[in-house]
Each structure stands twice: as C-alpha cells, then as structure tokens.
Amino acid sequence: MKPAVLYSLLACLFFITTTKAQSLEQRLQQSRPSCREVFSNAMDLLPGLLTAGSYDSIAFVIEFIEKSCEKTSETFDLRVLMAIQSNKFSVPDFYTAPSFFNLQYRANANLLQNDNPYIADPLQTKFYRFTKNWATDLLNSNNLDKDEVLICKVFTGEVKSPNAFIKQNKTDYPYLFTLLEEAESIERNKPMAYISITGGFWVPTSKLKLVGAHPTVGLQFGYHHKANDFALTLQFKFIRSAHPYAVLRNTQLYDLTHFFGGYVGMDYTRLLYTGKTFEFGLMAGAGYDRFDIASGENNEHLKPFGIGSLNINTGIRLNYFYKTKKFIGIQGRYNVIDFKNEGGSNLSGDAITIDVLFGFNRGS
C-alpha cells in the first residue's frame, strides 16, 4: 500500500473517530425540555389549533405530550374531548370502575380554579380554560348523546358533582351509575385509616343496675382493609348514678352517686357482607373499663377514686354509606366486665352498649 493511501485512510479513521466522539459528547450534553415546558408549549399551540379546527394537529400534540410526560389527567381529558369530537367516544373505552373518579376529580379541579384563582397555577388555569372552551363548542354542536353531554358539562363546570348528578338521574345514565357503584365499593375497600365519632348508651345488667344506664360519647381511630376493620376505641360515660352505691375506704362506708366512666380498647370487625351502600359484620374487642367514684377535689379520703375491670366484648356492626367516604353506623355489643367493690355495694354484672357512629375518610 502506498504511503499516501495509508495516510489518507488513517486521516479518515481519525476524523470519523473524532466526529463520533464529539457527536456522543454533544448528545450527552444536550438538554431535553421538561414535561412542564412541553405542556406549556402545547398550551400555547392548542387554542389556535382549536380555533382553526385542526384536529389532526391537536391529536399529534396530545401524543407528543404523552411521549414527554407519559399519561396524565390532562392528557386523559384531552383524549376524552378528542374522542367526542371525532364521534369515536364510548364510555367503556375511557371509564372503568377504578378510573371512574377521574370525572369527579375534573369537577373538583374546576371548583378549585374558581374558588382560588389567586393561588391556582397559571398553566393549569390556561389548560382548564382551553378544555372548557372545547367542551362548550361540542355542546353547541347538538350532536352528542346523553353521556357525552354530561361529560362536557362537567368540563364546562355546569355539573359540579357528577357523582351526585348520576345518582339523582340513574335511570338516564344506567351504565355510568353501575360504574359509580362499583367505583365506590372499590374505594371503600382500599386500605385506609378513618375516624368515627360515637354516641350511645351503656346499660348495665344484674347487680350493676344499681348505677343505672348512662349516655356515652367517644372516638374511634380505625384502619380498614377489605373485610377487616381494626379500631382503637375511646369512650366516656357520664351523669350521676341512678341510685347511691356504697364504697369502703379506710374502714368507713360512703354512699356515693358520682359516676364518670371511661373505656379504652381495641376492636376488630369481620365484615360478612359488603354491598353497594351497606356492610355488616361481627365484632369483638378487649380493653379496660372503669368509672370514678369521686372527683379529686377535697376527696383525698376516698382514694383510690377508680373502680376498674377488664372488658371483653362482642357484638354486631352495620354501616350505611351516604357518601363515598362517609358513613353512619350502628353497633351493639355485650360487654363482660367485673367491677370489684370490696366491702361496698355488690356491683357485679355486665353491660350492653349501643352506639351510633359517624365515620369519615373511609377511602382514598
């Protein structure tokens, strides 16, 4: 091989290697637009494309956003409107029981934008304004079925609570109503902490009837998963004893009517039936039960103030969900207790408790 040819080949090889290295370095150093930047650019383009009726271009923009940002609630909304625009919309294609609440989330976002305009993200405000205008155009086309009209009215803000609207008009939206019921059932059975306010009555049996029945109030801090429900229960019972009871303190008997009691314990409920709005189960619990015979002021001679007992209980519970995450419940249980009052009145006996519960946040 001639030296000139060899030098030329080496030069070409050096050039190719150097160029490739520079190309890789440039590609490694080049910056990509962030998801927000892509979305911001899209929102600069979409209103003009809608005005021009360039729906193919809008479809391209939606796909480009999804490639840059993956699928988001914004692209979901855009795809719904595009499907309605192109007469290709079908509820089962977009809404299933697990994704049904996208419709309610959109309605909530509209309310947030309207109620808090000064703290809303300007880019989100631009997006909601655009989709509202698009939905308004679709409603004016007079070429939509009932489901499409409802969805567009959610986008425009005319329907502020689609869940409530569908329940009120379930005969007009049978498929959406079925999805809503399934979605609420799924939501209720997700692992979730909740809180309940309780109120009811404590009714003693046997010799313990001496102190009489007492109203109760309390709190439950619970955790629910599928058919299992665990709760920490704090409960108080109050008002004076129905009849005086004797207690022995320092070799002297005192007739008292003071009564203020408390219970703290853990409850477990196994749900045997879970319906669309009702659930029913058997419950069991254990904790500490006591009541005070006097307040601490000027009553040092009556110490110890409390009479306590282990409480083992069992019963039934029924919950009715009047909203997805809110319920009213009723529980009744039999409490096995044994208040020891040595030297005083016989307070042997158990108690029946009946409570109404107002629960919040059962669901995500």
pLDDT (tens place) for every residue of the chain, 364 residues total: 555 544 454 455 445 445 545 565 555 565 678 888 898 999 999 999 999 999 999 999 999 988 888 778 889 999 999 999 999 999 999 998 888 888 888 888 887 776 665 566 888 889 999 999 999 999 998 789 999 999 999 999 999 999 999 999 999 999 999 999 888 888 777 888 999 999 999 999 999 999 999 999 999 999 998 899 999 999 999 999 999 999 999 899 999 999 999 999 999 999 999 887 889 999 999 999 999 999 877 888 899 999 999 999 999 999 998 887 889 999 999 999 999 999 999 999 999 999 999 998 755 4
- Beta-carbon contacts of residue 364 (< 8 Å; ≥ 6 apart): 187, 190, 192
156-164: long-range contacts at Cβ-Cβ below 8 A with a sequence spacing of 24 or more?
156/132, 157/107, 157/110, 157/111, 157/114, 157/132, 159/107, 160/107, 160/110, 160/111, 161/104, 161/107, 162/103, 162/104, 162/107, 163/103, 163/104, 163/324
Cα(238)–Cα(260) distance, integer angstroms: 5
DSSP 300-321: GGG-S-EEEEEEEEEEEEEEEE
Cα(75)–Cα(290) distance, integer angstroms: 58
Torsion of CA 320, 326, 275, 178, to 10 degrees: 130
Q: Model pTM greater than 0.85? A: no
259, 217 contact by CB (below 8 A): no
Residue 13: what residue type?
L
Q: Which of 352, 358, 340, 273 is nearest to 313 (CA)?
A: 352
